[in-house]
Amino acid sequence: MAGIYLHIPFCDTKCIYCDFYSITNHSKKSEFLGAIKKEMISRSAVLTNRQFDSIFFGGGTPSLLEAAEFRELFDVLYSNYHISADTEITIEANPGTLSREKLDQFRTLPINRMSFGVQSFNNGELKFLTRIHTAEEAMESIKHAKAAGFDNLNLDLIFALPGQKLDNWKYNLEKAIKLDTKHISAYSLIFEKGTMLYSMREKKQVSQADIDLEQEMYEFTMEFLESAGYKQYEISNYAKPGFECRHNLKYWTLEEYISFGPSASSYIGNERWTNIKNIGRYIELVEAGKPAYDFIETIDSQTSVTEHIMLGLRSRGVYFEDFRSKHGIDFESAYVTPIQTLLSNGYAVKDESKLTLTRKGYAMCDELVATLF
């Protein structure tokens, strides 16, 4: 089955590390909602033969929308797409934008999974990251979400902040474990070009974490979360059994997904496209009945093979039969030397059905894929 993604670009503030398309001016919200509904309807005619079992509202901060606005979006989705009865429906939420009353309203919607952008339980770190919530508010929001009836919760955390020590990161993980969410995403801080954080580093205002310390933090994360009952199923993602994010798995296993909104990327058939990263231009194009593409590409066979290997190794592994059926290639025969290198150095393990990276391999995944494949 395929997935649906909706990009809601509005935020209260722009965090210094964020390179996703987001805006703090909400004046075009009504026009945007009209346009994204129109885009959904216009795309539905060519997707009538597909069924969808995941819907993901990302951003930006989707939780800034009101329940009535979400209800209108769901009306369009359920009227125009074949949505499975057991669909996983996620919204990303900023703890600083949610009250218990709003969570109760959200619970009346089809939403059954929430992802909280917590990032840290240290108020000093939150201030550095320019988050608008406090650690106390983050913990309260998650508790309120549970009380409202949301059981399937994720929280995002960031490590390797400038000046952060291993003990500080351990404290964040301990706080996360006590909240007992079903899923934890733990990312190292990336200095993305174009962000305020990147500019701060270039101006020598901040320094990146030492690479050895970052590696130590990552290895500690894998061990600590496993000991707490979370299974690592992708480089940065950990879940209690049965609570892996169905939608994100589609990206990693090259399943199809259709996306709506400015900057949103889609993958259907052998084509991939991304919408323009400008809300005004996006609205103009959609209202004119035109595609809102920034670019579109056809995925050739070699790119498809490379991406399959990279994404497979980043997550659940490369399944031999799946690889053969998709590409007509016997993975074990075609990549004897790279596979042996991974196995002999303890970077991977192999059984009858798949090749999977070990913790040691996860820690070097990008480098290994680039070097060996």
pLDDT tens string 94-149: 997 889 999 999 999 999 999 999 999 999 999 999 999 999 999 999 999 999 99
Domain 2-252 carries which CATH code? 3.20.20.70
Mean pLDDT of 206-230: 96
Res 272 pLDDT > 90: yes
pTM summary value: 0.95
pLDDT of the residue at 373: 87
- Across the chain, mean pLDDT equals 96
* Residues 6 or more apart whose Cβ sits within 8 Å of residue 112: 88, 89, 150, 152
pLDDT of the residue at 348: 97
pLDDT of the residue at 96: 78
pLDDT of the residue at 115: 98
Percent of the chain residues topping a pLDDT of 70: 100
pLDDT of the residue at 276: 98
* Confidence tier at 46 by pLDDT (50, 70, 90): confident
pLDDT tens string 343-367: 999 999 999 999 999 999 998 998 9
pLDDT of the residue at 201: 96
What sections of the chain are H helices per DSSP?
Answer: 29-44, 67-80, 100-107, 123-128, 135-148, 166-179, 196-202, 211-227, 246-252, 279-287, 301-314, 320-327, 331-334, 336-344, 359-362, 365-372
55: left (phi over 0), alpha (psi -120 to 50) or beta: beta
pLDDT of the residue at 97: 81
Q: Position 361: which residue type?
A: G
Q: How many Cα atoms are found within 13 Å in the side-chain-facing hemisphere of 264?
A: 26
Q: Where in the chain is the domain with CATH 3.20.20.70?
A: 2-252
Q: Alpha-carbon distance 92 to 102, whole Å?
A: 14
Res 236 pLDDT > 90: yes
> In which residue are the tokens 């798949």 written?
354
pLDDT tens string 298-347: 999 999 999 999 999 999 999 999 999 999 999 999 999 999 999 999 99
> In which residue are the tokens 């200095």 written?
191
Q: Alpha-carbon distance 12 to 35, whole Å?
A: 21
